[in-house]
Copies of this chain bind each other. A is one copy, B any other.
Protein backbone atom coordinates (compact mmCIF):
# COMPACT_ATOMS: atom_id res chain seq x y z
CA UNK A 1 0.00 0.00 0.00
CA UNK A 2 1.38 3.41 -0.94
CA UNK A 3 2.30 5.93 1.75
CA UNK A 4 -0.35 8.31 0.45
CA UNK A 5 -3.07 5.67 0.67
CA UNK A 6 -1.99 4.91 4.24
CA UNK A 7 -2.14 8.61 5.10
CA UNK A 8 -5.67 9.00 3.72
CA UNK A 9 -6.78 5.77 5.41
CA UNK A 10 -5.62 7.23 8.72
CA UNK A 11 -7.63 10.41 8.01
CA UNK A 12 -10.66 8.26 7.24
CA UNK A 13 -10.13 6.16 10.37
CA UNK A 14 -10.57 9.35 12.40
CA UNK A 15 -14.14 9.89 11.23
CA UNK A 16 -15.96 7.68 13.78
CA UNK A 17 -14.46 9.62 16.71
CA UNK A 18 -15.47 12.94 15.13
CA UNK A 19 -19.01 11.63 14.54
CA UNK A 20 -19.38 10.91 18.25
CA UNK A 21 -18.89 14.63 19.13
CA UNK A 22 -22.05 16.63 19.63
CA UNK A 23 -22.58 20.05 18.03
CA UNK A 24 -21.20 21.94 21.03
CA UNK A 25 -18.00 19.91 21.14
CA UNK A 26 -17.42 20.35 17.41
CA UNK A 27 -17.99 24.08 17.76
CA UNK A 28 -15.61 24.38 20.74
CA UNK A 29 -12.97 22.56 18.74
CA UNK A 30 -13.10 25.22 16.01
CA UNK A 31 -12.83 28.20 18.38
CA UNK A 32 -9.89 26.51 20.12
CA UNK A 33 -8.23 26.22 16.71
CA UNK A 34 -8.55 29.98 16.27
CA UNK A 35 -6.99 30.56 19.71
CA UNK A 36 -4.23 28.11 18.91
CA UNK A 37 -3.19 30.06 15.80
CA UNK A 38 -2.73 33.19 17.90
CA UNK A 39 -0.84 31.27 20.59
CA UNK A 40 1.47 29.71 18.00
CA UNK A 41 1.95 32.90 16.01
CA UNK A 42 5.71 33.10 16.56
CA UNK A 43 6.28 29.75 14.88
CA UNK A 44 3.74 30.39 12.15
CA UNK A 45 5.20 33.78 11.24
CA UNK A 46 8.72 32.32 11.28
CA UNK A 47 7.63 29.61 8.86
CA UNK A 48 5.92 32.23 6.73
CA UNK A 49 9.13 34.30 6.64
CA UNK A 50 10.96 31.30 5.23
CA UNK A 51 8.32 30.96 2.48
CA UNK A 52 8.48 34.68 1.72
CA UNK A 53 12.26 34.63 1.40
CA UNK A 54 12.15 31.70 -0.98
CA UNK A 55 9.39 33.39 -2.97
CA UNK A 56 11.35 36.62 -3.33
CA UNK A 57 14.51 34.73 -4.25
CA UNK A 58 12.53 32.84 -6.89
CA UNK A 59 11.32 36.17 -8.30
CA UNK A 60 7.57 35.72 -7.66
CA UNK A 61 5.41 38.72 -8.53
CA UNK A 62 4.58 41.26 -5.83
CA UNK A 63 0.92 40.19 -6.00
CA UNK A 64 1.89 36.53 -5.42
CA UNK A 65 4.17 37.46 -2.53
CA UNK A 66 1.38 39.53 -0.98
CA UNK A 67 -1.05 36.63 -1.17
CA UNK A 68 1.52 34.48 0.60
CA UNK A 69 2.26 36.96 3.39
CA UNK A 70 0.99 36.48 6.94
CA UNK A 71 1.42 39.02 9.71
CA UNK A 72 -0.01 39.51 13.18
CA UNK A 73 -3.10 41.27 11.83
CA UNK A 74 -3.85 38.62 9.23
CA UNK A 75 -3.36 35.86 11.80
CA UNK A 76 -5.77 37.59 14.17
CA UNK A 77 -8.22 37.96 11.27
CA UNK A 78 -7.92 34.23 10.70
CA UNK A 79 -8.66 33.50 14.37
CA UNK A 80 -11.76 35.72 14.17
CA UNK A 81 -12.88 33.93 10.99
CA UNK A 82 -12.58 30.60 12.81
CA UNK A 83 -14.62 31.92 15.74
CA UNK A 84 -17.33 32.91 13.26
CA UNK A 85 -17.28 29.39 11.81
CA UNK A 86 -17.67 28.05 15.34
CA UNK A 87 -20.74 30.27 15.84
CA UNK A 88 -22.61 29.24 12.68
CA UNK A 89 -25.67 26.97 13.06
CA UNK A 90 -24.67 23.32 13.31
CA UNK A 91 -24.52 21.88 9.78
CA UNK A 92 -25.43 18.46 11.20
CA UNK A 93 -28.46 19.87 13.07
CA UNK A 94 -31.43 17.56 13.37
CA UNK A 95 -33.97 19.36 11.19
CA UNK A 96 -35.18 16.32 9.28
CA UNK A 97 -38.89 16.26 8.61
CA UNK A 98 -40.37 13.01 9.99
CA UNK A 99 -42.87 11.25 7.77
CA UNK A 100 -44.87 8.37 9.18
CA UNK A 101 -46.40 6.05 6.61
CA UNK A 102 -49.82 4.51 7.11
CA UNK A 103 -48.18 1.25 8.13
CA UNK A 104 -46.23 3.07 10.86
CA UNK A 105 -42.85 3.06 9.09
CA UNK A 106 -40.96 6.24 10.07
CA UNK A 107 -38.92 8.02 7.36
CA UNK A 108 -36.42 10.87 7.79
CA UNK A 109 -33.55 12.31 5.75
CA UNK A 110 -30.88 13.30 8.28
CA UNK A 111 -27.81 15.44 7.67
CA UNK A 112 -24.53 13.55 7.57
CA UNK A 113 -20.95 14.56 6.80
CA UNK A 114 -19.57 13.85 3.33
CA UNK A 115 -16.56 12.01 4.80
CA UNK A 116 -13.08 12.93 3.58
CA UNK A 117 -12.74 16.17 1.62
CA UNK A 118 -9.60 17.06 -0.32
CA UNK A 119 -8.87 20.78 -0.81
CA UNK A 120 -6.44 21.62 -3.60
CA UNK A 121 -5.36 25.26 -3.53
CA UNK A 122 -2.59 27.66 -4.37
CA UNK A 123 -0.60 30.25 -2.54
CA UNK A 124 -2.81 31.73 0.21
CA UNK A 125 -1.97 29.95 3.49
CA UNK A 126 -5.15 31.18 5.23
CA UNK A 127 -7.08 28.60 3.17
CA UNK A 128 -5.36 25.92 5.28
CA UNK A 129 -7.10 27.13 8.44
CA UNK A 130 -10.41 28.15 6.81
CA UNK A 131 -10.87 24.88 4.95
CA UNK A 132 -9.89 22.71 7.91
CA UNK A 133 -12.34 24.58 10.18
CA UNK A 134 -15.26 24.30 7.75
CA UNK A 135 -14.63 20.62 7.01
CA UNK A 136 -14.32 19.63 10.68
CA UNK A 137 -17.29 21.72 11.80
CA UNK A 138 -19.41 19.65 9.37
CA UNK A 139 -17.95 16.36 10.65
CA UNK A 140 -15.54 15.77 7.78
CA UNK A 141 -11.84 14.92 7.71
CA UNK A 142 -9.77 17.05 5.35
CA UNK A 143 -6.76 16.47 3.18
CA UNK A 144 -5.04 19.77 2.41
CA UNK A 145 -2.83 20.15 -0.60
CA UNK A 146 -1.66 23.77 -0.78
CA UNK A 147 0.81 25.41 -3.12
CA UNK A 148 4.47 24.54 -2.78
CA UNK A 149 5.37 28.22 -2.30
CA UNK A 150 3.39 28.22 0.99
CA UNK A 151 4.78 24.89 2.20
CA UNK A 152 6.32 26.00 5.52
CA UNK A 153 3.38 28.24 6.43
CA UNK A 154 0.85 25.49 5.71
CA UNK A 155 2.76 22.93 7.77
CA UNK A 156 3.04 25.36 10.72
CA UNK A 157 -0.67 26.25 10.60
CA UNK A 158 -1.67 22.60 10.33
CA UNK A 159 0.60 21.64 13.24
CA UNK A 160 -1.11 24.27 15.38
CA UNK A 161 -4.59 23.00 14.42
CA UNK A 162 -3.58 19.36 14.90
CA UNK A 163 -2.41 20.10 18.45
CA UNK A 164 -5.99 21.14 19.25
CA UNK A 165 -7.27 17.80 17.92
CA UNK A 166 -4.78 15.89 20.06
CA UNK A 167 -5.68 17.91 23.16
CA UNK A 168 -9.33 16.97 22.58
CA UNK A 169 -8.39 13.29 22.36
CA UNK A 170 -9.09 13.16 18.62
CA UNK A 171 -6.84 11.69 15.91
CA UNK A 172 -4.68 14.49 14.49
CA UNK A 173 -4.94 12.81 11.08
CA UNK A 174 -8.41 14.37 10.69
CA UNK A 175 -6.36 17.27 9.30
CA UNK A 176 -3.94 15.76 6.86
CA UNK A 177 -1.39 17.84 4.94
CA UNK A 178 -0.04 16.63 1.63
CA UNK A 179 3.57 17.62 1.11
CA UNK A 180 3.66 17.46 -2.67
CA UNK A 181 6.05 19.84 -4.43
CA UNK A 182 5.70 18.38 -7.95
CA UNK A 183 2.06 17.23 -8.32
CA UNK A 184 3.09 13.56 -8.22
CA UNK A 185 1.01 12.92 -5.09
CA UNK A 186 -1.87 15.01 -6.47
CA UNK A 187 -2.17 12.64 -9.41
CA UNK A 188 -2.35 9.65 -7.10
CA UNK A 189 -4.72 11.44 -4.68
CA UNK A 190 -7.24 12.14 -7.45
CA UNK A 191 -7.59 8.39 -8.08
CA UNK A 192 -8.40 7.38 -4.48
CA UNK A 193 -12.15 7.39 -5.08
CA UNK A 194 -12.72 4.69 -2.47
CA UNK A 195 -11.23 6.90 0.28
CA UNK A 196 -12.04 10.49 -0.67
CA UNK A 197 -15.59 11.74 -1.11
CA UNK A 198 -15.09 15.17 -2.63
CA UNK A 199 -12.34 17.27 -4.18
CA UNK A 200 -12.56 21.06 -4.09
CA UNK A 201 -9.94 22.85 -6.18
CA UNK A 202 -9.47 26.58 -5.52
CA UNK A 203 -7.19 28.75 -7.57
CA UNK A 204 -6.31 29.53 -11.16
CA UNK A 205 -8.13 28.02 -14.10
CA UNK A 206 -5.15 25.83 -15.04
CA UNK A 207 -5.13 24.13 -11.63
CA UNK A 208 -8.89 23.60 -11.69
CA UNK A 209 -8.81 22.14 -15.19
CA UNK A 210 -5.97 19.82 -14.18
CA UNK A 211 -8.00 18.52 -11.24
CA UNK A 212 -11.23 18.15 -13.26
CA UNK A 213 -9.33 16.30 -15.97
CA UNK A 214 -7.53 13.82 -13.73
CA UNK A 215 -10.00 13.17 -10.93
CA UNK A 216 -12.03 10.03 -10.50
CA UNK A 217 -13.54 11.59 -7.37
CA UNK A 218 -16.45 14.05 -7.62
CA UNK A 219 -15.09 17.58 -8.08
CA UNK A 220 -16.88 20.81 -7.27
CA UNK A 221 -15.44 23.39 -9.56
CA UNK A 222 -14.94 27.07 -9.05
CA UNK A 223 -14.08 28.22 -12.53
CA UNK A 224 -13.76 31.78 -13.63
CA UNK A 225 -16.48 34.40 -13.33
CA UNK A 226 -17.26 36.09 -16.64
CA UNK A 227 -20.18 38.16 -15.34
CA UNK A 228 -22.39 40.25 -17.65
CA UNK A 229 -24.65 43.23 -17.04
CA UNK A 230 -27.42 43.51 -19.64
CA UNK A 231 -28.90 47.00 -19.81
CA UNK A 232 -32.32 46.74 -21.37
CA UNK A 233 -34.05 49.45 -23.40
CA UNK A 234 -36.46 49.87 -20.48
CA UNK A 235 -33.75 50.28 -17.84
CA UNK A 236 -33.34 53.18 -15.44
CA UNK A 237 -30.03 54.43 -16.86
CA UNK A 238 -28.87 56.07 -13.62
CA UNK A 239 -29.38 52.75 -11.89
CA UNK A 240 -27.64 50.88 -14.71
CA UNK A 241 -24.60 53.16 -14.45
CA UNK A 242 -24.43 52.65 -10.72
CA UNK A 243 -24.62 48.85 -11.08
CA UNK A 244 -21.87 49.03 -13.68
CA UNK A 245 -19.57 51.11 -11.48
CA UNK A 246 -20.10 48.85 -8.46
CA UNK A 247 -19.68 45.66 -10.47
CA UNK A 248 -16.66 46.74 -12.52
CA UNK A 249 -14.65 49.26 -10.59
CA UNK A 250 -15.21 48.70 -6.91
CA UNK A 251 -13.06 45.54 -6.73
CA UNK A 252 -12.11 44.36 -10.23
CA UNK A 253 -9.98 41.40 -9.13
CA UNK A 254 -12.75 39.19 -7.73
CA UNK A 255 -14.79 36.55 -9.50
CA UNK A 256 -18.15 38.31 -9.04
CA UNK A 257 -16.91 41.52 -10.67
CA UNK A 258 -18.40 42.46 -14.06
CA UNK A 259 -16.39 41.77 -17.19
CA UNK A 260 -18.83 42.62 -19.95
CA UNK A 261 -21.62 45.15 -20.52
CA UNK A 262 -24.38 44.25 -22.99
CA UNK A 263 -26.43 47.25 -24.11
CA UNK A 264 -29.69 47.22 -26.04
CA UNK A 265 -28.91 48.98 -29.33
CA UNK A 266 -32.00 51.18 -28.90
CA UNK A 267 -30.40 53.09 -26.00
CA UNK A 268 -26.81 53.16 -27.21
CA UNK A 269 -26.85 56.87 -27.99
CA UNK A 270 -28.28 57.75 -24.57
CA UNK A 271 -26.26 55.37 -22.43
CA UNK A 272 -22.85 54.79 -23.99
CA UNK A 273 -21.49 58.35 -23.74
CA UNK A 274 -22.24 58.30 -19.99
CA UNK A 275 -20.54 54.88 -19.69
CA UNK A 276 -17.49 56.12 -21.57
CA UNK A 277 -17.13 59.19 -19.40
CA UNK A 278 -17.58 57.36 -16.09
CA UNK A 279 -15.19 54.56 -17.02
CA UNK A 280 -12.59 57.14 -18.05
CA UNK A 281 -12.90 58.81 -14.65
CA UNK A 282 -12.41 55.42 -12.98
CA UNK A 283 -9.48 54.57 -15.27
CA UNK A 284 -11.28 51.53 -16.70
CA UNK A 285 -10.24 50.67 -20.27
CA UNK A 286 -12.97 49.73 -22.73
CA UNK A 287 -12.93 47.11 -25.48
CA UNK A 288 -16.08 47.46 -27.55
CA UNK A 289 -17.84 45.94 -30.54
CA UNK A 290 -17.33 47.99 -33.72
CA UNK A 291 -20.90 49.33 -33.74
CA UNK A 292 -20.42 50.84 -30.26
CA UNK A 293 -17.18 52.67 -31.03
CA UNK A 294 -18.80 55.90 -32.38
CA UNK A 295 -20.03 56.67 -28.84
CA UNK A 296 -16.86 55.58 -27.06
CA UNK A 297 -13.92 57.68 -28.29
CA UNK A 298 -11.37 56.06 -25.98
CA UNK A 299 -12.39 52.43 -26.65
CA UNK A 300 -10.36 49.82 -28.49
CA UNK A 301 -12.22 47.52 -30.88
CA UNK A 302 -12.89 44.12 -29.36
CA UNK A 303 -13.05 40.78 -31.10
CA UNK A 304 -12.85 38.38 -28.18
CA UNK A 305 -15.75 37.76 -25.80
CA UNK A 306 -16.04 35.69 -22.64
CA UNK A 307 -12.73 36.92 -21.19
CA UNK A 308 -12.17 37.19 -17.43
CA UNK A 309 -9.98 40.31 -17.13
CA UNK A 310 -9.94 40.57 -13.30
CA UNK A 311 -8.69 44.08 -14.00
CA UNK A 312 -9.81 47.61 -14.87
CA UNK A 313 -10.94 46.52 -18.34
CA UNK A 314 -14.54 46.32 -19.57
CA UNK A 315 -15.88 44.67 -22.71
CA UNK A 316 -18.96 46.33 -24.25
CA UNK A 317 -21.26 44.89 -26.90
CA UNK A 318 -24.44 46.23 -28.47
CA UNK A 319 -27.22 43.65 -28.77
CA UNK A 320 -30.64 43.62 -30.39
CA UNK A 321 -32.75 43.27 -27.27
CA UNK A 322 -33.21 40.56 -24.63
CA UNK A 323 -33.01 37.51 -26.91
CA UNK A 324 -29.64 38.56 -28.28
CA UNK A 325 -28.41 39.22 -24.75
CA UNK A 326 -29.55 35.74 -23.68
CA UNK A 327 -27.75 34.21 -26.67
CA UNK A 328 -24.55 36.05 -25.82
CA UNK A 329 -24.69 34.92 -22.18
CA UNK A 330 -25.50 31.31 -23.13
CA UNK A 331 -22.44 31.32 -25.37
CA UNK A 332 -19.90 33.33 -23.36
CA UNK A 333 -21.15 33.24 -19.76
CA UNK A 334 -19.43 31.17 -17.09
CA UNK A 335 -22.47 30.11 -15.01
CA UNK A 336 -21.32 32.41 -12.23
CA UNK A 337 -23.37 35.64 -11.98
CA UNK A 338 -25.48 37.48 -14.58
CA UNK A 339 -27.36 40.78 -14.16
CA UNK A 340 -30.25 42.44 -15.94
CA UNK A 341 -31.20 46.08 -15.47
CA UNK A 342 -34.79 46.72 -16.57
CA UNK A 343 -38.09 48.15 -15.33
CA UNK A 344 -40.02 45.56 -17.32
CA UNK A 345 -41.06 42.71 -14.97
CA UNK A 346 -41.77 40.26 -17.81
CA UNK A 347 -38.32 40.71 -19.27
CA UNK A 348 -36.78 40.33 -15.82
CA UNK A 349 -38.71 37.08 -15.25
CA UNK A 350 -37.64 35.76 -18.65
CA UNK A 351 -33.99 36.61 -17.90
CA UNK A 352 -34.20 34.84 -14.53
CA UNK A 353 -35.79 31.76 -16.11
CA UNK A 354 -33.49 31.49 -19.11
CA UNK A 355 -30.09 32.39 -17.71
CA UNK A 356 -28.12 29.41 -16.44
CA UNK A 357 -25.95 30.89 -13.71
CA UNK A 358 -25.46 30.24 -10.01
CA UNK A 359 -26.94 33.68 -9.34
CA UNK A 360 -29.14 35.88 -11.49
CA UNK A 361 -29.56 39.48 -10.33
CA UNK A 362 -32.32 41.88 -11.29
CA UNK A 363 -31.48 45.55 -10.75
CA UNK A 364 -28.81 44.58 -8.24
CA UNK A 365 -25.03 44.37 -8.34
CA UNK A 366 -23.21 41.18 -9.39
CA UNK A 367 -21.08 41.65 -6.27
CA UNK A 368 -23.90 40.28 -4.08
CA UNK A 369 -23.13 36.71 -5.20
CA UNK A 370 -21.09 35.98 -2.09
CA UNK A 371 -21.67 33.68 0.87
CA UNK A 372 -21.61 36.51 3.40
CA UNK A 373 -23.99 38.74 1.43
CA UNK A 374 -26.43 35.87 0.79
CA UNK A 375 -26.48 34.95 4.45
CA UNK A 376 -24.52 31.68 4.38
CA UNK A 377 -21.76 32.84 6.71
CA UNK A 378 -18.31 31.50 5.86
CA UNK A 379 -17.94 30.22 2.33
CA UNK A 380 -15.58 27.59 0.99
CA UNK A 381 -15.93 28.87 -2.57
CA UNK A 382 -18.48 29.65 -5.28
CA UNK A 383 -19.46 26.59 -7.27
CA UNK A 384 -20.15 26.88 -10.97
CA UNK A 385 -20.89 23.14 -11.08
CA UNK A 386 -24.64 22.57 -10.90
CA UNK A 387 -24.38 19.28 -9.07
CA UNK A 388 -24.66 19.29 -5.25
CA UNK A 389 -23.97 23.02 -4.88
CA UNK A 390 -24.49 25.91 -7.29
CA UNK A 391 -23.20 29.29 -6.15
CA UNK A 392 -21.60 30.10 -2.80
CA UNK A 393 -20.86 26.94 -0.80
CA UNK A 394 -21.40 27.36 2.91
CA UNK A 395 -21.09 24.84 5.71
CA UNK A 396 -24.29 23.02 4.71
CA UNK A 397 -22.73 22.19 1.33
CA UNK A 398 -20.20 20.04 3.15
CA UNK A 399 -22.92 17.64 4.24
CA UNK A 400 -25.32 15.23 2.55
CA UNK A 401 -28.63 13.73 3.60
CA UNK A 402 -29.06 10.04 4.25
CA UNK A 403 -32.33 8.20 4.74
CA UNK A 404 -33.22 6.75 8.13
CA UNK A 405 -35.95 4.11 8.00
CA UNK A 406 -37.31 3.08 11.40
CA UNK A 407 -39.78 0.24 11.83
CA UNK A 408 -40.97 -2.34 14.31
CA UNK A 409 -40.04 -5.28 12.16
CA UNK A 410 -41.56 -3.84 8.98
CA UNK A 411 -41.03 -5.96 5.90
CA UNK A 412 -41.90 -5.15 2.32
CA UNK A 413 -43.41 -8.51 1.21
CA UNK A 414 -43.37 -7.58 -2.47
Q: Which positions in A face B, CB cutoff 8 Å?
A: 16, 19-20, 99, 101, 105, 107, 110, 112, 114-115, 193, 197-198, 212-213, 216, 218-220, 236, 238-239, 242-243, 245-246, 250, 326, 330, 348, 352-354, 356-365, 367-369, 373-375, 385-388, 390-391, 400-414
A278 to B201, CA, bound (A): 53
B405–A250 contact, CB under 8 A? no
Known A-B contacts A16-B354, A386-B400; A407 and B364 likewise in contact (beta carbons under 8 Å): yes
Tell whether, in the assembled complex, residue B236 and residue A362 are in contact, meaning their CB atoms are under 8 Å apart. Answer: no
Contacts A365-B411, A388-B387, A407-B364 hold; do A326 and B246 have CB atoms under 8 A apart? no
Do A365 and B412 touch across chains, with their CB atoms under 8 A apart?
Answer: yes
Bound-complex Cα distance A403 to B394 (A)? 14
Q: Which residue of B lies closest to A348 (CB)?
A: B406
Contact residues of A: prevailing secondary structure: mixed
Complex Cα–Cα for A347 and B390 (A): 37
Contact indicator A402/B198 (Cβ below 8 Å)? no
CB-CB under 8 A from A245, the residues of chain B are 411
Closest chain B CB from A388 CB (angstroms): 4
Of the candidates B16, B358, B373, which one forms a contact with A326 in the assembled complex, judged by CB atoms under 8 Å apart? B16
- Apart from A107-B375, A357-B402, A391-B403, list 9 A-B contacts with CB within 8 A: A19-B353, A99-B375, A218-B219, A359-B405, A361-B404, A363-B406, A368-B405, A368-B407, A390-B402
* Contact of A403 with B358 in the complex, beta carbons under 8 Å: yes
| CB closest chain-B residue, reference A16 | B354
Point out the residues of chain B lying under 8 angstroms from A386, CB to CB: 114-115, 197-198, 400
24 residue pairs of the A-B complex, CB under 8 angstroms, read A20-B353, A105-B364, A107-B375, A112-B356, A193-B212, A213-B216, A246-B411, A246-B412, A250-B413, A357-B402, A358-B402, A358-B403, A362-B405, A362-B406, A362-B407, A365-B407, A367-B412, A368-B410, A369-B403, A387-B388, A387-B400, A390-B400, A391-B402, A391-B403
B250 touches A414 (CB 8 A): yes
Residues from chain B with Cβ under 8 Å of A385 in the complex:
218
Would A405 and B364 be within 8 Å (CB), given that A16-B326, A387-B388 are in contact? yes
- Provide the bound-state CA to CA distance between A112 and B239, in Å: 28
